[in-house]
Amino acid sequence: MDELPLTKELFIDIINWMPSKYSLSTINNRSHYLKKIFKKYKILNKETMREIYRTFKHPQDKACIVMINRYCSENNIDFFINIPRMKYKKAKIPEILSPSEIELMIRSAPRPYDLAIRCIFNMGAGLRISEIIKMSWNDIRWIDWLSNQKNYGVIKIKQGKGGKDRIVNIPQKLMEDLYKYAKEQGVLNEFRIPTGGFIFDFGGNERQGKNNEFIRDNMNKIDDNWKETYIKTKYNWFRYNILQKCCEKALNKKLHIHQLRHSRATYLYEYEKADLASIQKLLGHASMDTTMRYIQVDLKKVFESMKDTMEL
């Protein structure tokens, strides 16, 4: 079939199909562009495809057409349209922070957010801000670590990007300091094991209240739009009160919290000599290409490693 009628029924069907295929942020983004296409056009064919290409320059417009192709394929609808290449700016790769800069960020942040920055950078190959906001005391495997406190810790990162879970390591010193913080917060149960809701309250209130505990315990049941708004609100508070007021002032430069994740992946590869497959697993990437965009190799070190190569 060369043409696809863009009906209200098809729009609703695609919207209902999307949650099983994409993350919440992707759904919100694609829904916006999908609505634009369905509102402006009654049919999708070669002619309207050229019109879309001329008027909608954003890559997400292209992604919406790719999504329509995929929906049709998976639902046995005889339709496929070729998509012309769209020119768009290459994504800017975050600047890698040096170990001394990260240490200065940690020292400049007030307690307990210095500990939160350490968690973002040091757990696995680095965490996303949404993952640290949702992290609870129950996510850490305390029993295993308490039986051997000289060992590293383990935490399950729940509902990361794309709704995927993954297991990552926690350095031994960080585990010790998290346990001390748990004692201070009074979240140890009768067996001296930390339990309860969020580890960090990104809202300025150092002690975790019952509202936070309720939200964390019911995070899977909460409406997705509300959940995204909650995470965004907490991140905005952290960005303004910790990142901008403390860390940027100390380093005298603009910062983005995702720089820590890129920096951690690069650090593991360059300094710890971790293999790429391990870094990919810890980051939770499905593609090695994505992992490679996180790692920035120092050109001077490349030249140094090649200094003894022989000329043919």
Looking at the chain, the whole-number percentage of residues with pLDDT higher than 70 is 80
Residues above pLDDT 90, as percent of the chain: 51
pLDDT at 164: 80
Per the listing, tokens 């994740």 go with 261
Token look-up 């240490």 returns: 103
Of the two residues 250 and 215, the one the predictor is more confident about is 250
| Nearest-10 Cα torsion for 29, 35, 37, 42 | 160
Beta bridge mates, 302: none
Domain 99-294 has CATH 1.10.443.10: yes
Mean pLDDT of the chain, nearest integer: 84
Amino acid at 59: P
Contact 196, 169 (CB under 8 A): no
* CA 268 – CA 280 distance, rounded (Å): 11
pLDDT in tens, 176-221: 999 999 999 999 999 999 998 899 988 755 444 444 555 555 555 5
CA distances from 45 to 9, 49, 58, 80, 309 (A): 18, 6, 19, 9, 56
Angle, CA of 197, 200 and 203, to the nearest 5°: 110
- Which residue's entry shows tokens 């790692």? 295
pLDDT of residue 140: 96
pLDDT score recorded for residue 215: 52
Give the tens place of pLDDT for each residue, 283-299: 988 888 888 888 876 65
What pLDDT score was predicted for residue 14? 92
* pLDDT of 134 higher than 50: yes
Which pLDDT score is estimated for 211? 47
Q: What is the pLDDT of residues 155-166, one digit of tens each?
A: 999 876 666 889
pLDDT of residue 225: 62
Q: Which of 166, 98, 110 is nearest to 135 (CA)?
A: 166
* Section 256-270 average pLDDT: 92
Predicted local confidence at residue 287, as pLDDT: 85
> What is the token pair recorded at 46?
């070669």
The domain locations on the chain are: 4-74, 99-294
- Tell me, what's the pLDDT at 98? 92
pLDDT of residue 210: 44
